[in-house]
A = this chain, B = another copy of it.
Amino acid sequence: MSVTLKDLAKASGVSIGTVSRALNDKNEVSAKTSERIRQLAQELGYIPNRAGRALSAQKSINYVGISIPSINSPFFDDIKKGIDQAVREFKDLGIDIVLKEQEGWDVDTQIRNIEELEQSGCKAFVICAVDSQKMRDKIEELSDKGLPVVLLNNDLPGSKRLCFVGPDYLCSGEIAATMVDKCRQGIALKILLVVGYKAHLGHKTRIDGFVDELKSRRHDFEIVDVIEGNDQDIVTQQVTMKAFLEHPEINVVYMASGNGVSGLGAAVIADAKHKRFVVACDEIYTTKELVKNDIIDFVICQSPTVQGYQAIKKLHDYLNKIGSAPEDFIVDTVIKVKTHFE
């Protein structure tokens, strides 16, 4: 059997309560005893028992506050699925969630939501936010209060977050380029790039990865245009059709954002007389349908369910002091084709 608090108590000659307090950063225990006990715990390889802890904690469940811009954004459906799965799994280990959804990326709205979550007693947070100073300040404030923050899907590098759980956008772009290269050998590529917003760091990173990888692979390609669809279907369709009209020579389309994909699909269908190779991102219902119907050739996915699950799990592990300092969790970049959806 593993080392328990009782063992530590016996070995150090103090009571089991003191040991528990010493190991839990309670400052109500003398510095020397505390130090001695921690030392001992280290030596004997003490690992807290989740079951015991969870059981004891039943009285005071740890609520995790979640703030995500998921309203009217189908991409988040799978993230929420992963969150649900984690909750089911960790509920009897003393973790539960409070979910607060927004529509869109307004920082002030989101910060207000986070404050409400805080007021309702959340002990930890999962946030999907865009980069902004206000948000960084908020994260620092929470962190300083001892409320850990996990950033989900979009990182704010250098902020005072506990860790990041999300995709590798660069890799996503590189893989898209790889597929284009492999599937279009010996043909000069005329490429249209579609993003939601050129300013969106994730989309921008994907584009960078795409272009750099393609450069390293071949020389017979040209980026005909980079257009913005504003994450909306209709806008995406309009700008794409315009690009097709102005540049009928386009034979490859890479869409670096998930939202607005049905607009892209509509444009490709409308201009079907030109055969084009199409790579998209993120597996949502519409995208699947477009792949099934051979409108889109490949989708580069980012395991959203895993992201939702791992964000909660990271906090569970942290709150239970499992492992040492939590590391970022970068999900797999997954290529999907028609066959995956049948």
Q: Which among B50, B174, B338 is the interface contact of A51 at CB below 8 angstroms?
A: B50
0 or 1 for each of A170-194: is its CB under 8 Å from B? (1 = yes): 0100110011001101000000000
- For the complex, what is the distance from the CA of A334 to the CA of B51, rounded to whole Å? 35
Contact B337 A335 (CB under 8 A): yes
Q: Determine the residue in chain B with the shortest Cβ distance to A52.
A: B55
Chain B residues whose CB sits within 8 angstroms of the CB of A185 once the complex forms? 183
**CB of A44 closer than 8 Å to a CB of B:** no
**CB of A54 closer than 8 Å to a CB of B:** yes
- Interface SS, A side: helix
Q: Determine the residue in chain B with the shortest Cβ distance to A61.
A: B1
Q: Which among B1, B49, B178 is the interface contact of A337 at CB below 8 angstroms?
A: B178
Q: Which among B51, B171, B174, B297 is the interface contact of A93 at CB below 8 angstroms?
A: B51
- For the complex, what is the distance from the CA of A179 to the CA of B298, rounded to whole Å? 10
**CB of A112 closer than 8 Å to a CB of B:** no
Given A55-B55, A174-B339, A335-B335, A50:B182 Cβ within 8 A: no
**CB of A332 closer than 8 Å to a CB of B:** yes
Chain B residues whose CB sits within 8 angstroms of the CB of A338 once the complex forms? 178
**CB of A35 closer than 8 Å to a CB of B:** no
Q: Which 3 A-B pairs have the closest CB atoms?
A: A51-B54, A335-B335, A174-B339
Could you give 15 example pairs across A and B, Cβ below 8 Å?
A2-B91, A47-B92, A49-B92, A50-B51, A51-B51, A51-B92, A171-B339, A178-B337, A182-B298, A183-B185, A333-B340, A334-B335, A335-B335, A335-B336, A335-B337
Q: Which residues of A contact B (CB under 8 A)?
A: 1-2, 47, 49-52, 54-55, 58, 91-94, 171, 174-175, 178-179, 182-183, 185, 213, 297-298, 332-340
